[in-house]
Amino acid sequence: MKKSNRTIGVIFFAFVCVFIVLCLNVVCVSVLGVHVNSGENISNYSTGVNIYKKTLSARRGYIYDRNKEIIAQDSSTYNIYAIIAERLNNDKTPAYVVDYEATAEAVAPYLNMTTEEFLSYLTANPKAYQVEFGSRGRNLSQATRDEIAALNMPGIEFLENSGRVYPNGTFASHLIGFAQFDAASNSIVGKTGIESQYNKYLSGTDGYLEYQGTSDGLQLIGTDAKIVNAENGYDIYLTLDASIQKYLENGLYETLQTFEAEAAWGVIMEVKTGKILGYAGYPSYDLNKKDIVSYMDANLGNAFEPGSTMKPFLIAAAMDTGIYDGEETLRSGLYHVGMVNGEFVRLSSKGQRGYIGTIQDFNSGKGWGEITINEGLIRSSNTAMVHLFIEEHMASTYRDYLTKFGFFKPVDFDVDGSISGNINYTYGMEKITSTFGQGLTVNTLQLLQAYTALFNDGTMVKPYVIDTIRDSYDDSIIYQGETTVLGQPITEQTADSLMQLLTEVIENNEYGSGRFYKIPEVQMAGKTGTAEIAGGSGSYLEEKGQNLYSIMAAAPANDPEVMIFYAVKEPKVSTVHTSTTIFKQIFRSTIMYLNISDEEEVEENTVIEAIFEEHKLDNYANKDVDEVVNELTEKGFKTLVVGNGSDVVSQYPLASTKAFTSQTVFLYTGGDTVLMPDMKGWSRKDVLSFWSFTDIPVQSVGDGYVVEQNIEAGESIGENDTIYVVFE
């Protein structure tokens, strides 16, 4: 019994001691401002001095293509720093760098530093609380951060940074735009394109963590933390299709190189919906590197004189008003325009009264003799358009229909920046030249929008690229893009009649002006354009190549589903409308990818051209030439071995260069003999590459592809020889 009472007394005494300690802690905290357990002075907590508030960063919304392939996403990088002032973790273990030498030896290699360099940062200011490690300690990858953290070195800590990454690099760059960290707002902010315009949707709302802590920033044991969760930004889904976009990107890049053009741009769009599937312009830039040459979006903010792609709208206006007779004939070649008593007339010569100018057909005014107006559109005759305009007194009618088709006012597009273009339509020759697309300017989206009426039974739809905006948590739809019908500028009957002519433009093998664009899988309808480029003074540039070549096409011709606009500005050669391989690769790849066909079956013996792909070339030096040729052939490249050695000595294009399978890879193997290749069918680029590679000079005449060479294939050649080739 006594033993039991003694036990109860001990328990009671212990309880009293604990109670006294708790009371003392309360007194110390409330009176003295000292936390007994940690020894920390907390008298200033009420003023917020030791209240810590850490930001919980929201994720910026992702941008996806229509198949949920990521176009833009957030990523994390890390800055490393070291705590050198003595402090302890809650478990009393060191939370600072204890052993400078060991820490430097372990961590320095991950920062590409020597041990001595790392130590110099640690010891530069002994009184500092923490130190950083310059540029080599910033923007570390997740993998590097994890490897350093796994070393478990006391005092080594990391600060997470948010960044924006674009997995595809160069990908509709002017349209997508870029976002980057903004110090003023301490967040990622869109700077251009969709990233900028939809910043309020993409940007989330940061949360925060608030807690009581020691002067070292560690949360006090037993205290509560307040957490306000971050709200991530909305995700944006585009109508773009990554596969089609890559066909377009690759093709336009190759166009720029092959034709040595100043610029090239294009858009691929669904005819009936207005959904844009591909959108690109070159020169472009890598969204990650931001190696920007120009901020101008060639499809949206670039007004250009379209040339003959405007001719169908004159025909449409005449058909729709019932004044069109396609079988009416005219004398093509030259058309001397006069103005007599306020009316346009055709004169027999320049010297007659009222003469104001002469229009000629593109074949230097030779024309094709007597032709019908229908044939004039198919051949792309300027004089046929002028004849129709003058004979049917279409000055006011044509201008009214241009307005109906939406020209000269900005397209209401999902991204700002669409320009209106303009038309000079006051004086006589201004009206005349407008019939074949000179003296007026449009942009790509205006042309696409207007052509939907021609391709879509008279119904005009608006282009769009934002498909949906979605909540990233539950995938609920915040915004839904949809097809917008803008009206019926022409009747269905007019559209059907015009489509028959536009199909002939491509499919007429005898004189269709777009016949070189024909592809084997499906019939197309469309119209080509070649426009002189006006200089700053308004006069037209006279140097060779100062032209804009373009085509608008749709397939299948009997019921178009997809359309493409493709433009090349100021190429060094004038064969864009005949050297159409690149365009055909873009559009054929798209057609096959979308599984589009018509009722026409492709003949079994039709030669199907290879579709270009892009590869990064390896370094083939010192490798067996036969193995290299086999490797390149499997990837789809053409190869040409120069020399009679067994191993590759050098190559062109160079190692690490990105090349398309349309290019020839030259492999030099040394030895004492260089044999003349068979250059027939080579492009100018191939010939110039051979010259550059071998230092054997080449002289040429003509444009297009090689049809003749002065040295027979297989003959030995050297630097003292000169190769002469003829292009057609």
Contact indicator for 555, 522 with CB cutoff of 8 Å: yes
Contact indicator for 59, 74 with CB cutoff of 8 Å: yes
* Residue 76 structure tokens: 């994390």
Of 171, 181, 182, 188, residue with least CA distance to 61: 188
- Please name the amino acid found at residue 556: P
- Provide DSSP, 71-139: EEEEEEEEEEEEE-S--B-TTS-B-S---HHHHHHHHGGGGT--HHHHHHHHHS-TT-SEEE-GGGGSS
- Please name the amino acid found at residue 54: K
Distances (CA, A) of 646 to 122, 412, 435, 651, 690: 56, 62, 62, 14, 20
Q: Using CA atoms, how far apart are residues 247 and 269, in angstroms rounded to an integer? A: 13
Q: Buried b / exposed e across 320-350, counting CB within 10 Å, b at 16+?
A: bbeebebeeebebbbbbbbbeeeebbebeee
Beta bridge partner(s), residue 281: 265
Contact indicator for 309, 527 with CB cutoff of 8 Å: yes
* Residue 238 structure tokens: 């585009």
Rg of the chain over all Cα atoms, to the nearest angstrom:
36
Q: Using CA atoms, how far apart are residues 495 and 491, in angstroms rounded to an integer? A: 6
Beta bridge partner(s), residue 355: 338
Q: Using CA atoms, how far apart are residues 353 and 677, in angstroms rounded to an integer? A: 61
Q: How many CB atoms lie within 10 A of CB 217?
A: 13
3-state helix/strand/coil string of 374-388 = HHHHHHCCHHHHHHH
Provide the 8-state DSSP code for 30: I
* Residue 193 structure tokens: 């394109």
Q: Using CA atoms, how far apart are residues 511 and 144, in angstroms rounded to an integer? A: 64
* Residue 38 structure tokens: 């940690």
Q: Which one of the listed residues 187, 284, 308, 589 is annotated catalytic?
A: 308
Residues 6 or more apart in contact with residue 140 via CB below 8 angstroms:
77, 78, 79, 80, 110, 111, 148, 158
- Provide DSSP, 429-456: HHHHHHTTT-SEEB-HHHHHHHHHHHHT
Q: Can you tell me which residue has the tokens 């030791």?
A: 50
Element (H, E) at 121: helix 115-123
Q: Does the annotation mark 308 as catalytic? A: yes
Q: Using CA atoms, how far apart are residues 514 and 495, in angstroms rounded to an integer? A: 19
Q: Using CA atoms, how far apart are residues 627 and 620, in angstroms rounded to an integer? A: 10
Contact indicator for 450, 498 with CB cutoff of 8 Å: no
Let me know how long the chain is: 728
Contact indicator for 268, 303 with CB cutoff of 8 Å: no
Q: Using CA atoms, how far apart are residues 220 and 213, in angstroms rounded to an integer? A: 5
Distances (CA, A) of 29 to 89, 145, 263, 469, 639: 22, 40, 74, 52, 83
* Residue 140: HSE in the Cβ half-sphere, 13 Å Cα cutoff: 27
* Region label for 48, one of left (φ > 0), alpha (ψ between -120 and 50) or beta (otherwise): left
Active site residues: 308
